[in-house]
Amino acid sequence: MSDRARVATAEDLGDIAESLARAFLDDPLMGWLFGDDPARAIRYTRRYFLSESARHLKHQHVYTTNGLSGAACWDPPGRWRTKTSDILKLAPLIIRGTGWRMTHALGGLARAERMHAAFPDHYYLAILGVRPDHQHQGMGTAMLTPILQRCDREALGAYLESSKESNIPFYRRHGFELKGEVVFPRGPKIWAMWRDPQPPE
């Protein structure tokens, strides 16, 4: 694998946001939130991922590749809840981007948070994406591996929500198992997945 994973820096965030926006262009949840017009979706999701990757960078748990073709954004144990200040910062973008879906989006996120809160301490994979022209080259695995190895060393679980059903087999190959579903009001569903720490081989 020529495009190795590494810890992201602030200088990477613009390219990371662009790659994530393109990675999620066919994502059912993002399409429902921001519409299915590609140009409009890219415009809103690029700004969304720029804000979110910057927020996760504060925890020093954002991994990218040498070519900035994607990112994995993690939250450490006890730090996964979104602060009110972060919600307020994103509110203008979300309101303009989602329109009438705003209320349903908040309802779905509240359902997801209630499910998430039931799990013990863990690392939370908030975002994982690789731009389409770099997929199926092992980059997603490369960006997951550093934190999954840390989970195993620290005997901690890992949690994620997949907004795309076709990605479930990929996560299962990395030890995640389905634990439930969350349906957004009048919208799509997401799949909650949990990974127990793996014993050393």
28 in a domain, yes or no?
A: yes
Q: How many domains does the chain have?
A: 1
> What is the pLDDT, as a whole number, of residue 150?
96
61 in a domain, yes or no?
A: yes
200 in a domain, yes or no?
A: no
DSSP code, position 121: S
Q: What is the CATH number of the domain that holds 66?
A: 3.40.630.30
201 in a domain, yes or no?
A: no
> What is the pLDDT, as a whole number, of residue 74?
96
135 is in which domain, residue-wise?
5-195
42 in a domain, yes or no?
A: yes
Phi-psi region of 99 (alpha: psi -120 to 50; beta: other; left: phi over 0): left
29 in a domain, yes or no?
A: yes
Phi and psi angles of residue 2, each rounded to the nearest 5 degrees, phi first: -80, -30
CA distance 4 to 1: 7
> What is the pLDDT, as a whole number, of residue 86?
66
135 in a domain, yes or no?
A: yes
The 189-195 sheet, strands edge to edge: 5-7, 62-65, 70-75, 122-130, 157-162, 189-195, 177-183
- 169 within 8 A of 178, measured Cβ to Cβ: no
User: Hey, what are 88's tokens?
Assistant: 């307020």
> What is the pLDDT, as a whole number, of residue 12?
97
> What is the pLDDT, as a whole number, of residue 147?
96
- 125 within 8 A of 151, measured Cβ to Cβ: no
Q: Mean pLDDT of successive 10-residue segments in the chain (201 residues)?
A: 81 97 94 85 90 89 94 93 69 72 81 92 97 94 96 97 96 97 92 93 67
Q: Which residue has tokens 């901690």?
A: 156
> What is the pLDDT, as a whole number, of residue 38?
86
